[in-house]
Chain A
Amino acid sequence: MKRNNIIGGIFFLIVGLIFAVYSRSVDIGDWSEPGAGFLPFYGGLIVIGMSLLLVVGSFVRMDAAVEPFFPESDSWKRVLSTFLALVAYNVLLRQLGFALVTFLFVGFLVKFIFPQGWWKSLATAALATVCVRLVFVNLLEINFPKGILGF
């Protein structure tokens, strides 16, 4: 818990600093006529104060054993792979098109996150792509990027 609080406190300290410093470039105004930067500035200062309290308080407090961040030895691989798959989906959506990128995305996750057989992965990917297309493109008439396949 101590480590959690220190890391979290430092993160919010940086957030508070960003808002407080940035708001000086817009009109803070004063108490009788608050400007656009009023809440970001004073809110940022409050966050800085609270973060420092959290960090200092955590250093002072004694703590029990530190909990591991990941519950299993290969948890980090699954989380990172899922995150990278999401990023890849976003990056490739326009280039490859909605159908192909959805097929690859689902196929990758089913096959590699909790490993399944190739047939199961490909079948799930195909079915998911068809269902999503039916709901969003055919039923809701939303236009998605067609990409290199043209559909």
Chain B
Amino acid sequence: MNLLFCFLGVFMGTLVGVLPGLGPTAAISLLLPVSFHLSPVSSIIMLAGIYYGAMYGGSTTSILVNMPGEAASVITCLDGHQMAKKGRAGAALGIAAFGSFIAGTIGAVGIMLVAPPMAKFALAFGPAEYFSLLLMGIVIIVYMSSGSILKDLLSAMFGLLLGTIGMDSISGTQRLTFGILELTDGIGFIPAVMGLFGVSEIFMNVERAVVTTLVTEKVKNLLPDRQDWKESFWPIIRGTVLGFFMGVLPGPAPVISTYSSYALEKKISKTPEKFGTGHIVGVAGPEAANNAASSGAMIPLFTLGIPANSVIAVLLGAFMIHGLQPGPMFISKYPDVFWATIVSMYIGNAMLLVLNLPLIPLWVKVLKVPYTILFPLILVFCLIGVYSLNFSQVEITLMIAFGVLGYLMRKYKFEMPPLILALVLGPMMESSLRLSLLMSQGDPTTFLRRPLSAAFMIVSTTLIVLAMIPGIQKKRAKLKEKLGDDEI
């Protein structure tokens, strides 16, 4: 059955990834309710499949219609679409699939090797270290967000405050529930995420009159030839290594790794003038980096319980919904979930390769579905999905409210990833903070006296100070332009 859920995950992930405007974050958000009814192992296997399926789906639209399905596929447009225009869409799609498969497989091996020792190291963490680490995670996401550090910090603080709604885990006191039973466990993560990323996206899209669907090229010859392999092999390996280690660091690693891989390959290439004209290396390296970064991003999730980006934050929320607590004890407490997820990565990547190439004509058909038909279906999916969680209309109301909030935040240029990350991490941060203060008898310098905690605090402070320097603000704004709205 888990093989079936793995297949469903990669299939649905690719399908949603192909749809323009819905990135991996929205894909996982929309499909979370489906996984809710499965066992924890099956659910996580399916969600992991959705994650890298969505990453692959994004590159399909980049190559075929020059429209990236998500921010990490922007770079693939440069050479991938040029290859398609020259009648080599098949080779581009093929090398993207093979490159992703190789990178994903090596990435899965990397997780097996790196995660257990990292988890052992994290066992030394106390509440103070945890609080500082979680704070650093949020600050890093804030730093990687748009130009105004103050507005991003406000979003993050808002998320923290929203995370306090519900029953206090230490004293059992109800906070801001107003007698509503559904709020006793806090603001539902799924309604919040589906509202912020799914519903608000629809509100943004219906503002503009719909553009007719783009014409796609006919796709043939899906297997790269010997010359393609000769040119692509080492870029795939380099992209894999680069992407994997970037993925471990918090931030939009799948996106940044694609830019870094492209820049690296262009720099060391003997024919840099070919980049941008349909050079297969411009597809192979970034696609491998993208997939490897997606694997690497799982490591801080499994070992520290820290999501490296907003997509992983949604995965973290899914873990917690199933009663699984990622962190240093995760591998020893839930070895079946950990190893099942690793194995599913091997199998899922193989499925992506074997199944998605023949399914390309289907994805082309999906791209031709007009948005006027698509968006009501997406909304129905959101409504039904949220209702099916607890059969509560309060949760639908919450989703709509978060949809309006997300829409207004986008209009007024407040970032959402810091909010969602703080909403997910907030309860853990609060309990770590209160425990640390209890243990230190109210001494806040405990966060600086403990070496690891002090190191995290110094990194956080440095990033906030750096973000305020005008020169760095401009660079962050430029990076934000490249990355897009929600793929942080």
Contact = CB atoms under 8 A, between A and B. Distances in A.
A47 B380 contact: no
Interface in B155-198: 157-158, 160-161, 164, 168, 170-171, 173, 175-176
Contacts of B209: 72, 114
Assign chain B's interface to a size class.
35 or more
A35 B375 CA distance: 45
Interface in A102-151: 102, 105-106, 109-110, 113-114, 116, 124, 128, 132, 136, 140, 142-144
Contacts, number: 169
B171 A86 contact: no
Contacts of A114: 206, 209-210, 371-372
Given A72-B208, A93-B387, A114-B210, A40 B376 contact: no
Given A69-B411, A90-B397, A93-B387, A30 B376 contact: no
B388 A142 contact: yes
Contacts of A128: 376-377, 380
A22 B176 contact: yes
A78 B376 contact: no
Contact of B414 (A8, A93, A105): A8
A35 B160 contact: no
A86 B154 contact: no
Nearest to A79: B203
Interface in A17-41: 19, 22-23, 26-27, 30-40
Interface residues of A, number: 65
Contacts of A12: 154, 158
Contact of A109 (B210, B379, B412): B379
Given A15-B158, A140-B34, A142-B37, A124 B173 contact: no
A4 B411 CA distance: 8
12 contacts: A7-B412, A15-B161, A32-B441, A32-B442, A36-B173, A50-B150, A69-B411, A78-B206, A82-B202, A89-B383, A136-B384, A140-B37
Given A19-B164, A54-B151, A114-B206, 13 more contacts: A4-B412, A7-B412, A31-B437, A31-B444, A43-B160, A43-B161, A47-B154, A86-B403, A89-B396, A93-B387, A102-B384, A114-B372, A143-B391
